[in-house]
Amino acid sequence: MIQMKSKTCLGCFYPLPQPFLDLGEMPLANAFFRPEQAGQKEEPFHLAVAYCPNCHLVQLTDLVPPEKLFGEYLYFSSYSDAFLAHAKAMAQSLTERFQLGPESRVIEIASNDGYLLQYFQQRGIPVLGVEPAKNIAAVAESRGIPTLNRFFGPDVVRGIQEGFGPADLVIGNNVLAHVPTVNEFLQAVGPCLKQTGTAVFEFPYVKELLDRTEFDTIYHEHVFYYSLTAMRILAQRAGLELHDVTRQPVHGGSLRVFLQHKGMSAVSSNVTDLLAEEKAAGLTGLDRYTAFSRDVAVLRDDLVHLLRDLKAAGKRLAAYGAAAKGSTLLNYCGIGPETLDFVVDRSPYKQGRYMPGERLPIHAPERLLEVMPDYVLLLAWNFADEIMAQQQAYYRKGGKFIIPVPKPKIV
């Protein structure tokens, strides 16, 4: 096993205490198996989370090398309607807020298949994507979105400054959680911004993770689980000022933070209010995290018992959403082929493959109507409304869904 154990905090280098949550040995959550790999054994990787009492940063204790994680990344953003709608609304809101036009420059870090930048480009705003996954960068290019196939960091700054120019807006959606060298990463953001420019980052909010027991959003790719408190300290260290924050409903509840060069804007009361809320909610002390860990154990027992009882009553079960979080949930709870017959997912890149670890086959969603399992465990619960709307026919024929978080419930 080639995992690096962090003895000190990845943000401030303070000695890291014992993990508050240990999920044990897990396969990589996005390593969907092809049929011809069926005989191969998967490498197990330790998955545990610790809280830094010095800078409040919640982080994995064991890191997996990025080339193992992102070589062939199968998450194509454009396959979810809800996510595309969110991207479109984000582009519109930021274009208006910063009055962007053909003279402006927009850079997106981890731009995926160009799902977000396309909406800026449609408005005539020059864009540049930075995307490390080779196959996904190629898809973006083929759709006409200029894309640098690199990891963002100090090495690409000069190329961006000279080739594209400093930007009015740098966006990073769901990327800050993935980068272990977060100080270097954030230090590289400033030089890519005009003096008046703004960097906007969106990431899952640790308070939602705790309050809604969303433990399945923990997997090896997500190194960090941010509070605003921790994010602000990191930004300061990188010479940036966090001057505004909004809450977003995506991915089980996210934060959108606005960073600028120091002294460019007054700090919004949104920031001071949320910092106070976090303190009141215990996010700046270990106890809240320890309580979460107890909630996770209860959720696992409840879910396993529910599924076992249904199975014992002769019911047939399947799952929806071959998402990374589904892999964490199934593997941590030990739910496999003895309980679920198969998983369905809309992405053709995942169909015909198998879930990591528990090795459930992945089919197209049409399979639900063909086979009519009695219950469908919703692994992609963050898209529950969208999925249940698409599966009206299954629902009308008597099918039922099980939503696993924050507490297992049948709908």
In angstroms, what is the C-alpha Rg of the chain?
21
Which is nearer to Zn ion, 54 or 183 (by Cβ)?
54
Task: State yes or no: residue 11 binds Zn ion (CB under 5 A).
Answer: yes
Q: How far is the CB of 226 from Zn ion (least distance, A)?
A: 12
DSSP string, 295-343: HHHHHHHHHHHHHHHHHHTT--EEEE---HHHHHHHHHHT--TTT-S-E
Residue 161 and residue 298: Cα distance in Å, rounded? 51
What is the number of other CB atoms lying within 10 angstroms of the CB of residue 36?
7
Q: Which neighbouring-strand residues pair with 130?
A: 109, 148
**Position 370, amino acid:** E
Which is nearer to Zn ion, 237 or 400 (by Cβ)?
237
Which position among 3, 6, 9, 233 is part of the footprint of Zn ion (CB under 5 A)? 9
Q: Element (H or E) spanning 107, and its range?
A: strand 106-109
Size of the site for Zn ion (CB under 5 A): 8
Task: State yes or no: residue 170 binds Zn ion (CB under 5 A).
Answer: no
Task: State yes or no: residue 197 binds Zn ion (CB under 5 A).
Answer: no
Q: Checking phi first, is residue 269 left (phi over 0); if not, alpha (psi -120 to 50) or beta? A: alpha
Q: How far is the CB of 69 from Zn ion (least distance, A)?
A: 23
Task: State yes or no: residue 190 binds Zn ion (CB under 5 A).
Answer: no
CA dihedral 331, 332, 333, 336 (to 10 degrees): 10
Which position among 48, 49, 55, 177 is part of the footprint of Zn ion (CB under 5 A)? 55
Contacting range for Zn ion; rule: CB under 5 A; set: 50-58, 86-94, 320-328, 385-393:
50-58
Q: How far is the CB of 100 from Zn ion (least distance, A)?
A: 35
Q: How far is the CB of 54 from Zn ion (least distance, A)?
A: 5
**Binding-site string for Zn ion from residue 59 to residue 98, where x marks contact by CB under 5 A and - marks none:** ----------------------------------------
Contacting range for Zn ion; rule: CB under 5 A; set: 11-19, 207-215, 280-288, 306-314:
11-19
Which is nearer to Zn ion, 16 or 271 (by Cβ)?
16
What is the number of other CB atoms lying within 10 angstroms of the CB of residue 293?
16
Contacting range for Zn ion; rule: CB under 5 A; set: 9-17, 21-29, 127-135, 198-206:
9-17
Residue 258 and residue 232: Cα distance in Å, rounded? 10
Task: State yes or no: residue 133 binds Zn ion (CB under 5 A).
Answer: no
Which is nearer to Zn ion, 55 or 362 (by Cβ)?
55
Contact 296, 215 (CB under 8 A): yes
Which is nearer to Zn ion, 182 or 193 (by Cβ)?
182
Task: State yes or no: residue 54 binds Zn ion (CB under 5 A).
Answer: yes
Closest CA to 302 of 191, 206, 407, 227: 407
Q: How far is the CB of 275 from Zn ion (least distance, A)?
A: 17
**Position 7, amino acid:** K
Q: How far is the CB of 10 from Zn ion (least distance, A)?
A: 8
Contact 29, 356 (CB under 8 A): yes
Q: How far is the CB of 288 from Zn ion (least distance, A)?
A: 16
Q: How far is the CB of 287 from Zn ion (least distance, A)?
A: 18
Task: State yes or no: residue 12 binds Zn ion (CB under 5 A).
Answer: yes
| Phi, psi (degrees; rounded to nearest 5) at 135 | -65, -30
- Residue ranges in 179-264 assigned as alpha helix (H): 182-187, 206-211, 228-237
Task: State yes or no: residue 50 binds Zn ion (CB under 5 A).
Answer: no
Contacting range for Zn ion; rule: CB under 5 A; set: 6-14, 78-86, 260-268, 375-383:
6-14
Which position among 14, 191, 291, 372 is part of the footprint of Zn ion (CB under 5 A)? 14
Closest CA to 252 of 377, 382, 380, 379: 382
Which position among 52, 90, 218, 368 is part of the footprint of Zn ion (CB under 5 A)? 52
What is the number of other CB atoms lying within 10 angstroms of the CB of residue 142?
11
Task: State yes or no: residue 283 binds Zn ion (CB under 5 A).
Answer: no
Task: Kindly give the interhelix angle for 286-312 and 324-333, rounded to the nearest 10 degrees.
Answer: 80
Closest CA to 360 of 336, 379, 326: 336
Which is nearer to Zn ion, 58 or 91 (by Cβ)?
58
Summarize as ranges the residues that interact with Zn ion (CB under 5 A).
9, 11-12, 14, 52, 54-55, 57
